[in-house]
Amino acid sequence: MGPEKFTLGPTVRVLLADLGIALPNVLRRASLPEYLLSGGPVALTSAEFFAFWRALDDEAAEENLPLRIAQAVSAEVFDPPLFAALCSPDLTVAAQRIAVHKRLIGPMRISVTSSVHGTTVRYHWPAELDPPNTLVITELVFWVVLARVATRFEVRPLRVGTPSPPADIEAYQAFLGVPIDRTPEQSITFSAVDAARPFLTANDQMWQFFEPELRRRLSELTDGATMTERLRAALLEMLPAGTATMGAVARELAVSTRTLQRRLRAESTSFQAVLSETREALARHYLSTAGLPAAEIAFLLGYEDANSFYRAFHSWTGQTPQRVRAGGG
């Protein structure tokens, strides 16, 4: 099984043209073929996808590129899964639909939680790769653009957070209506009123047209994946929510717990082994790049307290988190 690949569509050409950025220059910087998008959509690995975004940032050479992208976005430059989201009745439903199909667009997964207080979208990235910060900020700003395009209302989120906020906080606050705070994870929260504000672009017939094709493409993306790979992907999304039990993961993967265990045994592993490997990889990532305190890392890994995280980390590595963070392992 090769690495998952993600679609880069021809709408990128439209967006870059509107931004005044030469696509061939971006592709050259990313070490990608200059003819890449000449024949329609192409599939990129996670590393290639991130390389494209880093090259775009370098070629644009401006601090607030995500804001320029946001201001250039229109319905014409939404990829099919995102255009389909415009057909939703409101932002909450759109977010839930995007969460299902987000992997068609890039190496990221999102989770959506809704309550009487509002709707929150959280991002989960591959543990082995650091996403370009321009991509992260663009993704967060995107939700505000989507809400405003669909409702024709100046929707403002309640909170926006990421471990690495942009330097020009004031510019983003002027656009979003709130500052981008420094938080352990990438997330954006909208009030219950705004999350339920009707989309003027709602079109259920259009959604019924799009949805079978999106499901087909999603099936193609996951059919070749091993159960271990599917389990790891589900854990990356479910660990921060504290819902990564075997039963919950099996339901997420649409299999019984017995089938999940049997498939994993056939791949010479187990649920607990993949869970521990995923937690260790995430822990090392957070310790080396995010500067998060142990209590927050414990939360993101699905532990009830920091002591449980310390004991688990020592069992994996024979060292303490502090020693690994200091470069000792």
Average pLDDT over the chain, rounded to an integer:
84
CATH architecture of 226-325: Orthogonal Bundle (1.10)
Classify residue 27 by burial, with Cβ atoms within 10 Å: 0-12, 13-18, 19+. buried
189 residue type, one letter: T
**Structure confidence at residue 77 (pLDDT):** 52
**Structure confidence at residue 52 (pLDDT):** 94
Highest mean pLDDT among 110-124, 156-170, 250-264, 303-317: 156-170
**pLDDT over 70 at 217, yes or no:** no
User: How far apart are the C-alpha atoms of 236 and 241, rounded to whole Å?
Assistant: 10
Question: Please, which pLDDT band fits residue 2 given cuts at 50, 70 and 90?
Answer: very low
Quick one: average pLDDT of 210-234?
A: 70
Q: Are 129 and 142 in contact (CB under 8 A)?
A: no
Around Cβ 123, how many Cβ atoms within 10 Å? Answer: 20
Question: Please, which pLDDT band fits residue 221 given cuts at 50, 70 and 90?
Answer: low
Residue spans of the domains in the chain: they are: 66-204, 226-325
3-state helix, strand, coil in the chain (%, to 5): 55, 10, 35
**pLDDT over 80 at 262, yes or no:** yes
Least confident of 26-35, 121-130, 261-270, 307-316: 121-130
**Structure confidence at residue 10 (pLDDT):** 67
The reported pTM is 0.68
Tens-place pLDDT, residues 74-85: 655 556 667 778
Least confident of 41-55, 101-115, 142-156: 101-115
3-class secondary structure, 174: helix
User: How far apart are the C-alpha atoms of 18 and 71, rounded to whole Å?
Assistant: 10
Quick one: average pLDDT of 38-63?
A: 86
Highest mean pLDDT among 34-38, 58-62, 233-237, 324-328: 58-62
Quick one: average pLDDT of 311-318?
A: 90
Number of helices and strands in the chain (H, E): 17, 7
Q: Which of 316, 284, 320 is nearest to 300 (CA)?
A: 284
**Structure confidence at residue 219 (pLDDT):** 63
